[in-house]
Structure 1
Amino acid sequence: MSSRRWPTIVAAVALTGTVVALGVANPVPPARVSTDRLGPDAGEPVAAYLDRANASLVEDAVPDAGAEHWALVSLDAPATASTLLDTVGDLRVSQVMFRVPIERVQTPIVTIPVAANRESVERASTVASARLSMAGAGVDRQSQVMAYSAARLSTGCTCVVGAVVRGSLAQLRALAATPTARAVEALPADAVAGAFAVSPLLPSQTTVVVPGPDDGPVPALP
C-alpha cells in the first residue's frame, strides 16, 4: 500500500470515531411507540367489548384512590353536547366524537379536542361542521355525505356518540352506571394524553363491530 494513502485512511478512521463518540454522547431519542387504544376492535363481538370495558374499571392489585385515568365513554344513543355534559357530570372532557346518523349510509366519525370548560364542549359541533365543510366541496357521494353531515352539525344536532374523559376509577364506574352511558373503558393511569387511539362503540353496533350498509340515498342538504 502506498505510504501516501495512510494519512487519508487515518483521517477517515478518526472521523468515524468522532461520529460514533458524538452519537453516544448525544443519542437520538427513540420514536415513541404507543399501543394504547380505546374502543372496540374491528370484528369484535359487542358483548366481548362490553366485558372488556367493564374489566378496565376494576381496581388494580394495589389501588391508588387518587389516580386518574383517561377513558372512553360510548353513549347508548346519539346525544347533544348538553346531554353529554349532563352524563359525565364533573369529569374533565378532552375530546368529543360526532357522527351524523343517516339510514343505510356510512358517515364519518369526527373527533374534536376541547378545552376544560362547558362552552368549548358546546362549540365542538360547530368546529366539527367546519372541518367537514372543507372536505365536502365535490359532487361525488363521499362529498355529499360530508356536506350533509357538516350542515347537520352546524345546527347542534343530536350527533354526539362518545367522548374521552378523565377521572378516578370510582368516578368512571359511576359514569358507567348512568343510563345514557353504554360503555366506559379506561386506560392505565400512566397512559399519556394524545398518545392513544380512540374509536367509540357506535349505537348502531349491536352484535359485532362491523361497518353498516352503505347503499342508502344521501339526503338533500337541509
Structure 2
Amino acid sequence: MNAPMLRRAGSATVVVLAAVLIVVLGWAIPPRAAVISTDRLGPESGEPVSGYLDRARESLRANDADGHWALLSFTSGITADRIPEYSAGLRISQVDYHVAIDRVATPITAIGVPAGDGVAVASVRSAAAKVAAEQTYDDRSTRVKNLVAARLAAGCPCVVGIVLYGTLDQLRNLAARPGIRAVEALPADASAGVFAVSPLLPEQTESASPTPDDGPVPDN
C-alpha cells in the first residue's frame, strides 16, 4: 500500500474512532433534561382581580419559616428610587415596569437585578434602554416605543411590581403596608429564575385583561 493510501486509511480510522468515542460518551454522560416549570406569579390572563387577590392572600397562609419567592404588586406605580421603601431590605431579583397610557397597549418591561437596593433603583435606566432598543415595524408601534422609553428615562412612576425573596412572616408584613396591593408567594421549593411573572397592573380593576389598543398615542 503506497503512502497516500496509508494516509487515507489512517484518516478514516481516526474518524471511525472519534464517532465511537462520541457514542460511548453519550451513553456515559446522558444529556441533562430540560428544566420545565409551571410555577407562575401574577394573575392569569382574564382572571378576575378579586379572585387573584384571594389567591395571593392564600399563598401567605402557611406557617413554615423557609424563604419564598414572591411578587409584590403596587396599588399605583412608584418611581424606582422608592423601591427600598417597599422591599424592607429583602433580596430583589426583578423589577417590572409599565407605562400606562389610556387605551394604548404598552409592554411590561422586566429587568433582572443582582442583590442590592442600588441596582434595583438604577434598573429604570436599563428598562428605558431595553425599550428603546426594541424593533418596531409600523408608525404606531414606533411612536409607542419612543414614548415609553422617554417616560422611563425621565423617571416616571412606572414600577408596578417587584419579585423578592423572604419568609412568609416578612411577606405578610409587606402585604399589610399601604400602597401594596398584593403579595403572592410561590411554594418554598420553587427554583429561582424558572417561573413566569405577570404583575397585576394598577389599572386592572375588574380582570387581568389586555388594554384596548384603539386610542391615540400622545406626543409626550
Bin of the TM-score, shorter chain as denominator length: 0.7 to 0.9
Cα 1:18–1:84 shift into 2, 3 Å: closer
Please state whether the residue corresponding to 2:95 is helix, strand or coil. strand
1:66-215 equivalences under 5 Å are 67-135=66-134, 140-215=139-214
Cα 1:83–1:19 shift into 2, 3 Å: closer
Give the Cα–Cα distance (whole angstroms) in 1 for the partners of residues 216 and 31 of structure 2.
52
CA contact (8 A) 2:94 2:110 kept: yes
CA contact (8 A) 1:75 1:181 kept: yes
CA contact (8 A) 2:67 2:167 kept: yes
Q: What whole-Å deviation, never above 9, does each CA across 1:35-80 have from its counterpart, x for those lacking one?
A: 11111001111111111111111115xx2x2x11110001000111
Structure 1 segments, 4+ long, off by >6 Å, are: 17-21
Q: Determine which of 35, 38, 43 is the counterpart of 1:40.
A: 43
Q: What whole-Å deviation, never above 9, does each CA across 1:174-204 have from its counterpart, x for those lacking one?
A: 0111111101111111111111110000111
TM-score by length of 2: 0.85
Give the Cα–Cα distance (whole angstroms) in 1 for the partners of residues 128 and 176 of structure 2.
31
Give the Cα–Cα distance (whole angstroms) in 1 for the partners of residues 78 and 123 of structure 2.
13
Give the Cα–Cα distance (whole angstroms) in 2 for the partners of residues 136 and 173 of structure 1.
40
Matched, 1:55 2:54: no
Partner of 1:10: none
Aligned length: 202
Matched, 1:29 2:28: no
Cα 1:27–1:80 shift into 2, 3 Å: same
Alignment gaps of 5+ in structure 1: 1-16
Alignment gaps of 5+ in structure 2: 1-19
Amino acid at match of 1:83: R
Give the Cα–Cα distance (whole angstroms) in 2 for the partners of residues 136 and 155 of structure 1.
21
Please state whether the residue corresponding to 1:111 is helix, strand or coil. strand
TM-aligned CA deviation for residue 136 of structure 1: 5.9
CA contact (8 A) 2:93 2:114 kept: yes
Please state whether the residue corresponding to 1:149 is helix, strand or coil. helix
Partner of 2:16: none
Cα 1:19–1:146 shift into 2, 3 Å: closer
TM-aligned CA deviation for residue 139 of structure 1: 5.2
TM-score by length of 1: 0.84
Please state whether the residue corresponding to 1:78 is helix, strand or coil. strand
